[in-house]
Chain A
Amino acid sequence: MSEATAINVAARASLWLQPHRIVLILIALALVFCAVFFLRWDWLPQYWQMGLMGIWRALWILAVTCALGFALAVPLGLAQAGGPFWFAVPAKVFCTIIRGTPLLLQLWLLYYGLGSIFPQYPWIRESWMWPYLRQAWPYAVVALTFSFAGYEGEVMRGAFAGVPKGQLEAARAFGMSRWKIFRRIWLPQAFYRALPTLTGETVLQLKSTPLVATISVIDIFAVSSKVRQDTYLTYEPLLLLALIYMTITGILVLIFSRIEARIPVKIG
Chain B
Amino acid sequence: MKTVLKTFAAALLIGVAALGGVAKADQVKIGVAAEPYPPFTSPDASGKWVGWEIDFIDAVCAEEKLDCVITPVAWDGIIPALTTKKIDLIVSSMSITAEREKTIDFSDKYYNTPTAIIGPKDQKFGATPDDLKGKVIGVQVSTVHAVYAKKHFTGAQEIKEYQTQDEANNDLAAGRLDAVQADSIALGEFLKTDQGKACCDLKGMVAPDDEVLGPGVGAGVRKEDTALKEKINAGIKAIRSNGKYDEISKKYFDFDIYGGAPQSN
Residues in chain A within 8 A of chain B (CB atoms): 112, 115-116, 118-119, 125, 130, 134-136, 214, 216, 225-226, 228-230, 232, 234
Contact = CB atoms under 8 A, between A and B. Distances in A.
Interface residues of B, number: 22
Contacts of B27: none
Nearest to A229: B142
Contact of A230 (B80, B142, B162, B173): B142
Chain B contact residues: over half helix, strand or loop, or mixed? mixed
Interface string B163-191: 10001001101111000000000000000
Given A118-B174, A134-B176, A234 B162 contact: no
A176 B76 CA distance: 61
A228 B162 contact: no
B76 A116 contact: no
A233 to B, nearest CB: 9
Interface of B: 76-77, 79-80, 83-84, 100, 102-103, 141-142, 160-163, 167, 170-171, 173-176
7 contacts: A115-B176, A118-B175, A134-B176, A216-B162, A216-B167, A225-B141, A232-B80
Given A112-B167, A216-B161, A232 B79 contact: yes
A125 B100 CA distance: 41
A244 to B, nearest CB: 20
A225 to B, nearest CB: 6
Contacts of A216: 160-162, 167, 171
B160 A134 contact: no
B215 to A, nearest CB: 20
Given A229-B141, A230-B142, A116 B173 contact: yes
Nearest to B76: A229
Contacts of A115: 171, 174, 176
A255 to B, nearest CB: 33
Nearest to B120: A119
B253 to A, nearest CB: 29
Given A112-B167, A232-B103, 16 more contacts: A112-B170, A115-B176, A116-B170, A119-B175, A130-B175, A134-B176, A214-B163, A226-B141, A226-B161, A228-B76, A229-B76, A229-B141, A230-B142, A232-B79, A232-B83, A234-B84
Contacts of B174: 115-116, 118-119
A225 B74 CA distance: 12
Contacts of B170: 112, 116
A169 B147 CA distance: 68
Contact of B76 (A125, A134, A225): A225
B77 to A, nearest CB: 8
A214 B76 CA distance: 11
A129 B257 CA distance: 44
Given A116-B170, A228-B76, A134 B175 contact: yes
Contacts of B103: 232
Nearest to B162: A216
Nearest to A124: B175
Given A112-B167, A116-B170, A234-B80, A125 B175 contact: yes
A119 B84 CA distance: 42
B81 to A, nearest CB: 10
Contacts of A119: 173-175
A50 to B, nearest CB: 13
- Which 8 A-B pairs give the minimum distances between C-beta atoms? A229-B142, A119-B175, A232-B103, A234-B80, A134-B176, A116-B174, A115-B174, A119-B174
A112 B161 CA distance: 15
Contacts of A229: 76, 141-142
